[in-house]
Chains A and B, each alone.
Chain A
Amino acid sequence: MKTGTKTRPAAGRPSPARANEPLPALDRVIHERLRLAIVSALAASPSLTFNELKDLLGTSDGNLSVHARRLEEAGYVSCEKGFSGRVPRTAYRLTAAGRRAFARYVDHLEALIAHARR
């Protein structure tokens, strides 16, 4: 899985010293289910429009707007508004900060799994 810049722990067992370290708190901005889906989708695709995200995630306009705005406020997602012919078009991208936060989040999940395996 490509997650951009990585400071990832090994996928297998953590070292004993690492295993005793307290785990940092999960990023609550990304942890919410729909926001996690938005960030995951944008990590895999350079840019997605509002309609593409809505189709992909099977959610409503209102729900997607609210969560995309929350990600924008956190600086994780950038939004570009324009027109395709006469139809308004909103395109989203993951920012560098968003890509780093996503990589940290995945690292954190992997660390949790490694801890639980001990």
Chain B
Amino acid sequence: MHAIRAHAEEHIRYIRDTMERASSFTAVPGLGGILMGSTALGAAAIASRQPDPSRWLAVWLAEAVVAVAIGALAMARKARRTRSDLFSGPARRFLLTLTAPLGAGAVLTLVLARSGQTAILPGLWLLLYGTAVVSAGATSVRPVLAMGACFMLLGAAAFASPSAWGDGYLAAGFGGIQIAFGAVIARSHGG
């Protein structure tokens, strides 16, 4: 009787574990990521031609607003198409874990810009965006986690590089990595 009970309990655990893993957030938009990456490449080209740091910062802040708008619209569109709920447990966890490090990044950007330390912003943005994506990736599809790790590595590399390479790193991260993983997600996870 003990064996039957152990067997049944093991099956219940297996079911619970599978259900928890399956309820991960799958409405991460691959095509939206490609579009966000494309606008970032454009922003990098424009920002690199700016004569002073305040204009450079204005270009990237405008790009951030555009990227957030694209991401939000694409996510809502994909959630509607896949009939998943953006306010369900996994989606809510995804959005909360994504926004906390991004909020910290916004505050640090303000502080560093005021003190004229804009040269370290590219590394900071890449590192914190990577942290946000890695944290959120724990409740989402597998490529999201890998994408976050790539951003973090690139952010660390940007800190160790000359500040003149900042736009190059931002183009590689918010442009290249975003487009590459967007394509993987679009192909493997329904758009």
Interface residues of A (CB under 8 A from B): 1-2, 33, 36-37, 40-49, 51-52, 55-57, 84-85, 87, 89, 91, 106, 109-110, 112-113, 115-117
Q: Which residue of B lies closest to A51 (CB)?
A: B188
Q: Are A84 and B19 in contact (CB under 8 A)?
A: no
Stretch at the interface among B8-16, B45-53, B55-63, B130-138: B8-16
Stretch at the interface among B20-28, B93-101, B172-180: B20-28
Q: Are A87 and B187 in contact (CB under 8 A)?
A: yes
Known: A40-B22, A47-B83. Is A84-B15 also a contact (CB below 8 A)? no
Known: A112-B4, A113-B8. Is A84-B22 also a contact (CB below 8 A)? no
Q: Which residue of B lies closest to A33 (CB)?
A: B14
Known: A109-B11, A112-B5, A113-B12. Is A41-B189 also a contact (CB below 8 A)? no
> B residues within 8 A CB of A33?
14
Q: Which residue of B lies closest to A117 (CB)?
A: B5
Which of B4, B20, B189, B191 contacts A116, CB < 8 Å? B4
Tell me the dominant secondary structure on chain B's binding face.
helix
Q: Are A110 and B191 in contact (CB under 8 A)?
A: no
Tell me the dominant secondary structure on chain A's binding face.
helix
Q: Are B15 and A47 in contact (CB under 8 A)?
A: no
Known: A106-B12, A109-B11, A117-B5. Is A46-B84 also a contact (CB below 8 A)? yes
> A residues within 8 A CB of B16?
1
Q: Are A106 and B15 in contact (CB under 8 A)?
A: yes
Q: Are A36 and B5 in contact (CB under 8 A)?
A: no
Does B190 make an interface contact (CB < 8 A)? yes
Which of B9, B20, B189 contacts A113, CB < 8 Å? B9
For the complex of A and B, 5 pairs with smallest distance between CB atoms:
A116-B5, A41-B22, A44-B19, A40-B18, A112-B8
Does B82 make an interface contact (CB < 8 A)? yes
Q: Are A55 and B141 in contact (CB under 8 A)?
A: yes
A96 CB, nearest partner CB in chain B, Å: 16
Distance A81 CA – B20 CA, assembled complex (angstroms): 26
B35 CB, nearest partner CB in chain A, Å: 14
Q: Are A37 and B4 in contact (CB under 8 A)?
A: no
